[in-house]
Structure 1
Amino acid sequence: RESFTPVVEFAHDLRDRLSGLLGGVPILPTGAGHDAGILSASVPTAMLFVRNPTGVSHSPAETAGEDDCLAGVAALAEVLEGLACH
């Protein structure tokens, strides 16, 4: 094993806000250890997963539809705007 990072529990308010903006999409557990997993030790953090029909991740074969990507961008922008304005 090259590395080990304990499971990260993200900020529920951000997680729930993202889920709600996307029509109540499922909340997925994640063992994120890099990027957002490390940030969560210092700042409230959540992850936004865009639907990927193949399930392939961290690979050149990873793909997502344009509508799904645009929905993710819109949700992220709305959450960021809400955070910046409060």
Structure 2
Amino acid sequence: LSISLCDGFSKVGGGAMPLEEIRSRLLCISPGKFSATYIANALSGYNPPIIVRLEKDQVFLDARTIQTKELKIVAEAIKILSAKSTIA
């Protein structure tokens, strides 16, 4: 896995601002030995689930959706995923 911070957008939907985008920082995960879909499914299947966005064969976590107390959970999930040598 290759992990970096990148500029992006939060997508706001419904109500008075459907499909509006606001600038945000994203945690960008580029797949190495796994597909982006596999990474997204693994993170959404984690306990608690980690919600991600898939675009252009990359996985994105929006910093606006991660609370400070959740950072350790996200880091642990990514650490476990990156330690896997094969897809189970």
Q: TM-score range by the shorter chain?
A: 0.3 to 0.5
With CA pairs under 8 Å and 6+ residues apart, which has the higher RCO, 1 or 2?
1
Q: Which has the higher strand share?
A: 2
Tell me the TM-score normalized by structure 1: 0.42
Q: Which has the higher helix share?
A: 1
Tell me the TM-score normalized by structure 2: 0.41
